[in-house]
Amino acid sequence: MRKFYEQLLENNKEWVEKSLALDPNFFADLAKGQTPPLLWIGCSDSRVPANEIIGAKPGEVFVHRNIANMVVHSDMNMLSVLDYAVNVLKVKHVIVCGHYGCGGVKAAMGNMSVGIIDNWIRHIKDEYRLHDKYLNSIEDETERFNAFVEINAKEQVYNLAKTSIVQGAWKNGQDLMLHGWVYGLNSGFVTDLNVNIASNEELDEVYQLSNL
């Protein structure tokens, strides 16, 4: 166990040396600040590294991760990240990226208790209820699972658009576009779900906040 820990420290040293060999000012430049154009909301799954998937360098992606890439209206952690990204960093894009084979989505499709996470994935279960006719019509279990992963990512994009943070930015004329993706663990490619929102006019009227 200690050997693994010590290896992590050694890996860090090697990474610093390689980074400085390529650019002697690498860390000095990073320390000056960050102006990332993108906020990435992804799953906590260790197999889905945001920067590597899109070939981004340190400082180019602001990241928030949780189980099943959820945007929950009462999650102060997510809202704080979103507020900072939109109102301070002025990101121009927010990508919600799910992934096929997501354990959180899979758990939400069943009845087994998996611990305290039951309370979190209940939000995903609510989404299944909204789309149950379509999902239950898919006979193949893997295809149904993949379809629900996609639906979950799309729903989180709409949840983002419903926040006062995003709608306030739009009202102020800020360039901000929301996107939904799904990452393939077995291929490395992302699938664009073609849900790209740039104004609250694309939401049901009840969600359009008029007094911001």
192 is catalytic: no
The β-bridge partners of 41 are 64, 96
97 is catalytic: no
Nearest to 93 by CA among 181, 154, 179: 179
45 is catalytic: yes
Nearest to 117 by CA among 127, 128, 106, 130: 106
Beta strand pairing call for 93-99 and 61-66: unpaired
Kindly name the residue from 47, 129, 140, 204 that is annotated as catalytic: 47
188 is written with which tokens?
């490395």
179 is catalytic: no
As annotated, the binding site includes 43, 45, 99, 102
The β-bridge partners of 192 are 181
Kindly name the residue from 2, 23, 29, 45 that is annotated as catalytic: 45
- What residue type is assigned to position 105 of the chain? V
Kindly name the residue from 29, 64, 83, 99 that is annotated as catalytic: 99
3 state DSSP class of 211:
coil
The β-bridge partners of 178 are 94, 197
8 Å CB contact between 181 and 98:
yes
* 93-99: strand order across its sheet: 61-66, 38-43, 93-99, 177-183, 190-197
As annotated, the binding site for Zn(2+) includes 43, 45, 99, 102
Kindly name the residue from 97, 102, 123, 179 that is annotated as catalytic: 102
Kindly name the residue from 43, 64, 97, 179 that is annotated as catalytic: 43
175 is catalytic: no
List the catalytic residues. Answer: 43, 45, 47, 99, 102
